[in-house]
C-alpha cells in the first residue's frame, strides 16, 4: 500500500522574515528593559553607599564632639573615619563660631551627599565651597568682584588722551546688578578702562575673565588679560571687541593660558584699544570674575548658592562649583 505523503510534510514551512523581525524586536525590548532595570538598581546602590558613608561621618563627628567639649573634628582622620577613604571627604569646620558649625561632603563614583551640624540626614549635593558630583570647584580670584561696599582693588587706565583726565568711583547703585565701578573721562580723545592689578596666577594654566559692562554711549568694548612675569609684561589676551549699545549691560568674556614665566595678571575692562571716547563719557563695570579652570562659568562669588568667601565677605576671593547654564 502506497503512503500518501503531503508536500507540507516533506517540506516543512520555516519562519518568515516578518516573524524573525518580530522575534528580534521582542528580544531587543526585553534586553532594553533588563538594562534599564539593572542600571537603576546599580545607581540606587551607588547612592545608598554614599549616603551610608555620609551618615557614618555624621555619627563619628557627633561622637567626637561629645568626647571633646563639643569641638568638631578638623578632618576625616581626626573623626576616626577610614583613612584609606579620606579622599571621599571634603571638610568645613568652624569651632570658633557660636554655635560651632561643620559641613562635610562625601563623594564617591561622582555622587555627592553632605551632612552638617543642622542636618545629620544625608542630603544630595555638597556643602558650600565644596566640589559636587565629581565637578571640581573654581576660585574667583578677584577680591572685590561686584563692588558692593567700596572700590578697593579697582583703578583706571588711559592712553592717548589729549589734555584730559579720567577718574573712577565705586559702589554705584543700579537696578538688577547691585553695584558697579564707574570710570568717567574729560578727555577729548583716546581710550580708557577700569582695571584690577597683580592677581597671582599659575604658569601654563587656563584662566577665564568675564564681567558685565555698560557704557553711556555706543562703542566697542572688551575684556583683556595681561600676563606679567618677573621682567614685566609678557603678553596679553583680549576678548572679541564687540559693539556695545549705550546704557545697556552686556557680558564680555575671554580665556587664555598663562605663559611659562607668568606669575600674575593685570585685568582690564572697557573700551577697546584705539577706540576714541568723547568728553563726559562714563563707563560702568560689575560682576567681574577671573578664575583658573577648563569650564566656562557664569558669574559667582561668596553670595552665590553653594559658594563661600575665603575671608571677609565682598572683600576676598571666593570658591564654589562652576555655574553652568
The answer, yes or no, to whether residue 292 has pLDDT greater than 80, is yes
Q: Are 161 and 322 in contact (CB under 8 A)?
A: no
Look at residue 278 in the predicted model and tell me its pLDDT.
Answer: 75
Grid cell in block for residue 93: 569646620
Grid cell in block for residue 251: 557680558
Look at residue 231 in the predicted model and tell me its pLDDT.
Answer: 93
Q: Are 302 and 309 in contact (CB under 8 A)?
A: yes
Look at residue 175 in the predicted model and tell me its pLDDT.
Answer: 47
The answer, yes or no, to whether residue 241 has pLDDT greater than 50, is yes
Q: Say which residues have a Cβ less than 8 Å from residue 25's Cβ, sequence separation at least 6.
A: none
Alpha helices in the chain (DSSP H): 7-10, 17-67, 76-79
Range in 46-50, 62-66, 175-179 with the lowest mean pLDDT? 175-179
CA 112/CA 105 separation, integer angstroms: 7
User: Tens digits of per-residue pLDDT, 163-211?
Assistant: 566 777 766 655 455 688 888 887 666 678 889 999 999 999 999 999 9
* 12 — pLDDT class (breaks 50, 70, 90): low
CATH superfamily for 140-320 is Galactose-binding domain-like (2.60.120.260)
The total number of residues written for the chain in this structure? 325
The answer, yes or no, to whether residue 226 has pLDDT greater than 90, is yes
% residues pLDDT > 70 (the chain):
86
Q: What is the DSSP string of 257-276?
A: EPPTT--EEEEEEEEPTT--
% residues pLDDT > 90 (the chain):
53
Mean pLDDT calculated for residue range 14-43: 80
pTM: 0.79
CA dist 178 to 53, 142, 193, Å? 41, 17, 20
Task: Look over the chain and give the mean of its residue pLDDT values, rounded to a whole number.
Answer: 86
Amino acid at each position: 500500500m502506497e503512503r500518501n505523503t503531503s508536500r507540507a510534510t516533506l517540506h516543512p514551512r520555516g519562519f518568515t522574515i516578518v516573524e524573525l523581525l518580530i522575534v528580534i524586536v521582542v528580544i531587543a525590548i526585553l534586553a532594553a528593559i533588563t538594562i534599564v532595570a539593572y542600571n537603576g538598581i546599580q545607581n540606587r546602590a551607588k547612592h545608598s553607599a554614599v549616603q551610608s558613608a555620609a551618615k557614618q561621618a555624621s555619627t563619628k563627628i557627633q561622637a567626637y564632639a561629645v568626647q571633646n567639649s563639643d569641638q568638631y573634628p578638623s578632618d576625616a582622620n581626626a573623626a576616626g573615619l577610614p583613612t584609606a577613604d579620606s579622599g571621599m571627604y571634603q571638610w568645613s569646620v568652624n569651632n570658633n563660631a557660636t554655635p560651632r558649625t561643620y559641613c562635610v561632603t562625601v563623594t564617591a563614583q561622582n555622587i555627592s551627599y553632605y551632612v552638617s551640624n543642622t542636618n545629620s540626614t544625608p542630603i544630595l549635593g555638597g556643602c558650600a565651597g565644596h566640589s559636587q558630583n565629581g565637578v571640581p570647584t573654581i576660585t574667583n580670584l578677584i577680591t572685590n568682584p561686584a563692588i558692593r561696599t567700596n572700590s578697593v582693588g579697582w583703578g583706571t587706565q588711559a592712553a592717548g588722551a589729549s589734555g584730559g583726565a579720567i577718574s573712577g568711583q565705586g559702589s554705584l547703585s543700579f537696578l538688577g546688578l547691585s553695584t558697579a565701578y564707574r570710570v568717567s573721562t574729560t578727555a577729548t580723545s583716546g581710550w580708557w578702562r577700569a582695571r584690577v592689578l597683580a592677581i597671582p596666577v599659575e604658569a601654563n594654566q587656563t584662566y577665564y575673565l568675564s564681567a558685565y559692562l555698560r557704557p553711556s554711549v555706543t562703542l566697542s568694548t572688551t575684556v583683556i588679560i595681561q600676563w606679567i612675569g618677573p621682567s614685566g609684561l609678557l603678553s596679553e589676551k583680549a576678548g572679541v571687541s564687540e559693539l556695545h549699545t549705550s546704557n545697556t549691560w552686556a557680558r564680555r568674556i575671554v580665556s587664555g593660558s598663562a605663559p611659562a614665566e607668568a606669575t600674575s595678571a593685570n585685568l582690564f575692562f572697557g573700551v577697546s584699544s584705539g577706540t576714541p571716547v568723547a568728553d563726559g563719557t562714563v563707563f560702568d563695570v560689575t560682576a567681574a570674575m577671573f578664575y583658573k579652570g577648563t569650564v566656562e562659568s557664569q558669574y559667582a562669588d561668596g553670595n552665590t548658592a553653594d559658594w563661600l568667601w575665603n575671608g571677609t565677605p565682598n572683600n576676598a576671593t571666593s570658591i564654589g562649583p562652576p555655574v553652568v547654564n
